[in-house]
Chain A
Amino acid sequence: MERNMPKIVCFMCNWTYCQEELHVPSNVNVVRVMCVGRIDPIIVLETFANGADGVMLVGCKPPDCHFVDGNLQAERAVKVLKKLMALTGLEPERLKLFWSSPLEEISFSYLAREFSEDIWKLGVSQLKWPESEVSENILAAKNAASDFRLRVLLGREEELTELMNAYGEKISQKEFDALLDDVVKAEFIRHKIHLLTKTKPLSVKALAEKLGIKPAAVLRHITNMRRKGMIALDRVEGTTPLYKALEVK
């Protein structure tokens, strides 16, 4: 029984619980970081890619944070990560953000056990299945998470929604969420295309089939990617142009 327990990685803020108070189940690996907002989305995706069944993030309950609003930053990252995970086919429930407070009645060990139980119900991470499509997707998600556009948007959420942008406009939270949704989707698909065309040149039609979206949408992405220097025309077979990924940076 013990051997089959899901493997869980827990990133925990240094200021929430004290080491002495922790009674950690053996399947949970607790990693202390300065603030739960310290966790880069890439780190979480990498952890999944390396075989974690679930990831817990534990931070201080707002409005208390040793670093003013690091916990809210974590909340934003989790929001984006869940969207990305949904796109890859990995269950977003495998990632969960917990708030803790000194006055909390529920202990950490209880939370960890409960989370293990939930993950147990979901089963082994698809990333561990042989020849799973998700493995490739998670790589695309990782690349998307390290993409400039997505990260700028993520980093500037507070500035854009609560203050104003360079043009003196203020974006409502709803507008921002819609924007973020689009960007996450677009970046994920672009990086997926990039990965697919890396090994051999592919046509728009073939890509559209693999990705399950309309060829017109694929073409739009490819146009964008050509402008950014991510992809180039390899050759034309008959009347079908084939595209091949370029090395980025």
Chain B
Amino acid sequence: MTAIPISEKRLLPPCRVACPARVNVQAYVSLIQRGKFREAVEVIRKDMPFPAICGRVCFSPCEDACARVNVDQAVAIRALKRLVADIEREQGRVTPEPIPKKYSEKVAIIGAGPAGLTAAYELAKLGYPVTVFERMSEPGGMMRYCLPNFRLEKFVVANEIAYIQDLGVEIKTGVEFGKDVTLESLKADGYKVFFIAIGTQKGMKLNVPGEDLEGVMNAVDFLRAVALGEHVTVGERVAVIGGGNTAIDAARTAKKLGAKEVMILYRRSREEMLALPHEVELAEKDGVKIYLLVAPKQIIGENGKVKAVECLRMRLGEPDESGRRRPVPISFSEHQYEVDMVIPALGQVAETESLPPEILSKDKRGPPLQVDPLTLETNVPGVFAGGDIATGPASIIEAVGAGKRAAVSIHLYLRGQDLQKGREEKVEETTWVKNWSFIKKKERRYEPPIEKPHLSFDEAAEYLERTKQKARFEAFRCLGCGPCAECLASMDLCEGDKAVVDENSCVGCNVCAVICPFEAIKKNEKGIAQVNEDLCKGCGLCAARCPEQAITMKKLTNEQILTLALATLRR
């Protein structure tokens, strides 16, 4: 249950290693295979509190790492996660019992974004009284105010946050850090530890002439205004500048708000775009035009209003420090796009004014806060910081990972233990597959619907049943690379069952080694079979085939199966 650091080297499947929050992917995919959808959500919640949010907008490093790509395509991990979370929400989530407060030290978390909420969630599970302070009127941070409704519905965010609140986390909204509360005032209120996760809220400037003209609106401000339900006037022709997910979101939002023509101006080529390829495709489907290798030189105004953007053509030069090719302007290539609204979406920077000056880093060029990358400590004891504020704008799942790390650090700090010791994760990526050519090809069997179909009452039940079947069918594509995944399924049958060899009756015939699908049994130097318990998944195929019947299972032995089978016959 707890996020106590992993001490010894563990074998994990590639998907779990790739995930910054170490979500137990193999376990919940296995549970989906069995049709245990609710249990699957529970397994996800063991590692992070946002199954539905990540099921929608995560950039899914797990799918990139999936070993199945060696055969055909990655397992649709994100889609499966979304499905189980949605089914749980729509069928009614069970309200969890508040977790009893085991400890008395109060923890203050500044910022109710993904990092802050995850830290609050993990600390509440450990038994700490946690209070989250949020400046805006609703918690959720960028998840609520930057991601448009068509990508991440507001009620989904609200539902996941409600779960965290159900566990006993207090969220105080409308409290601005640095104005309404400060470190000192919170300390006076009895808070012992602070976790600063305010994120990066300010959109970066274009730094070209004409930026102050009417009609120039930063993407973050634009999306936030839309999310808040403010009246936003969108121009007829809109230019969005940038190539990240925010740019795509802003462009699609502008299109949906009624702009006649929306264009994205990006200074590199399509390969360098940071936005998810899938999102770019959707934007193009919405009718957004994408102009590549152009960068704005100035914004031309008329009567104080935007009239056009003057751009320069670019070509790609040498790769820069981010590994992407640097755009180099081509001289005398100026050309104009006639627009009446410009939305710069060049990335975000932190608002450091509210932070106490002693924790800010001296180096003005790097991130505003210097934290220990492992423990997330700042140079002030008792103050931790993480998420976008420490790393620069990143993704939800990375923020969740930071929140988890912070929670462990805060727990160790409050218990007076060494923060550094044993924190280095010793994990090893593993897959049992040695020869990919033996694996049979199976194409993807489930894709999430782009739009939810409108169905009548009768159709809905059937649709759900069909979707569930497809999802289970898709889950069967998982190779189960890692060892037994410790899912909740283990509770009802296998309980982490392992094979045991009776060394006195083993004759070393090697049948078990041939039978074992995971190469968990090998003959040792004495010629006697030995079970590698790290790799054994407890299927019992060896126990069913051992010619000398020297192999038994720890839990479900042959005799037990027989007793179960004969139970009704004797009646």
Contacts and interface: CB of A to CB of B under 8 A. Distances in A.
B548 interface: yes
Interface string B533-548: 0000111110111111
B509 interface: yes
B151 interface: no
Interface string B502-526: 0000000101101101100000000
A98 B569 CA distance: 22
A151 B545 contact: yes
Given A14-B34, A70-B541, A29 B569 contact: yes
A52 B515 CA distance: 29
Nearest to A76: B545
Interface centre among A43, A66, A103, A156 (most CB of B within 10 A): A66
Contacts of A47: 562, 565-566, 569
A112 interface: no
Nearest to A154: B545
A158 B514 contact: yes
A64 B476 contact: yes
A201 interface: no
B268 interface: no
A39 interface: yes
Contacts of B468: 102
A17 interface: yes
Given A34-B497, A39-B561, A103-B473, A52 B569 contact: yes
A208 to B, nearest CB: 30
B538 A34 contact: yes
A187 B218 CA distance: 83
Given A38-B539, A38-B540, A159-B514, A152 B509 contact: yes
Contacts of A17: 35
B534 to A, nearest CB: 16
A29 B568 contact: yes
A31 B494 contact: no
Nearest to B438: A68
B493 interface: yes
A101 B445 CA distance: 13
Contacts of B549: 146
A108 interface: no
Interface centre among A18, A46, A64, A68 (most CB of B within 10 A): A68
Given A66-B33, A103-B469, A156 B514 contact: yes
B480 interface: yes
B514 A34 contact: no
Given A14-B34, A38-B541, A155 B511 contact: yes
A14 B545 contact: no
A70 B568 contact: no
Contact of B547 (A39, A101, A148): A148
A38 B34 contact: no
B494 A40 contact: no
Nearest to B35: A18
B562 A43 contact: yes
A198 B36 CA distance: 52
Interface string A55-70: 0000010011011111
A10 to B, nearest CB: 9
B420 interface: no
Nearest to B440: A63
B505 to A, nearest CB: 10
Interface centre among B468, B548, B566 (most CB of A within 10 A): B566
A21 to B, nearest CB: 7
B476 A35 contact: no
A18 B440 CA distance: 25
A83 B30 CA distance: 35
B547 A155 contact: yes
Given A43-B561, A63-B442, A38 B544 contact: yes
B157 interface: no
Contacts of B417: none
B543 A38 contact: yes
A51 B565 CA distance: 11
A111 interface: no
Contacts of A103: 469-470, 473
A217 interface: no
Given A33-B556, A43-B562, A151-B545, A51 B569 contact: yes
Interface string B18-45: 0000000000001001111000000000
B567 interface: yes
B547 A151 contact: yes
Nearest to A26: B568
Given A66-B30, A69-B517, A77-B544, A152 B35 contact: no
Given A7-B568, A14-B34, A37 B544 contact: yes
Nearest to B472: A102
Given A7-B568, A39-B561, A43-B561, A67 B544 contact: no
B564 interface: yes
Contacts of B333: none
A185 B352 CA distance: 84
B110 to A, nearest CB: 44
Nearest to A146: B549
A151 B476 CA distance: 30
B540 A21 contact: no
Contacts of B509: 148, 152
Contacts of A15: 30, 33-34
Interface of A: 7, 9, 11, 14-15, 17-18, 20-21, 29, 31-35, 37-40, 42-43, 46-47, 50-52, 60, 63-64, 66-70, 73, 77, 101-103, 146, 148-149, 151-152, 154-156, 158-159
Given A33-B561, A47-B566, A73-B515, 11 more contacts: A14-B489, A15-B34, A18-B35, A51-B570, A64-B476, A67-B541, A73-B545, A102-B470, A151-B547, A152-B509, A155-B514
10 contacts: A9-B568, A14-B493, A47-B565, A47-B566, A52-B569, A66-B30, A70-B541, A102-B35, A148-B509, A152-B511
Across the A-B interface, give the 5 residue pairs with the lowest CB-CB distance, nearest first. Answer: A18-B35, A155-B511, A68-B517, A151-B547, A102-B472
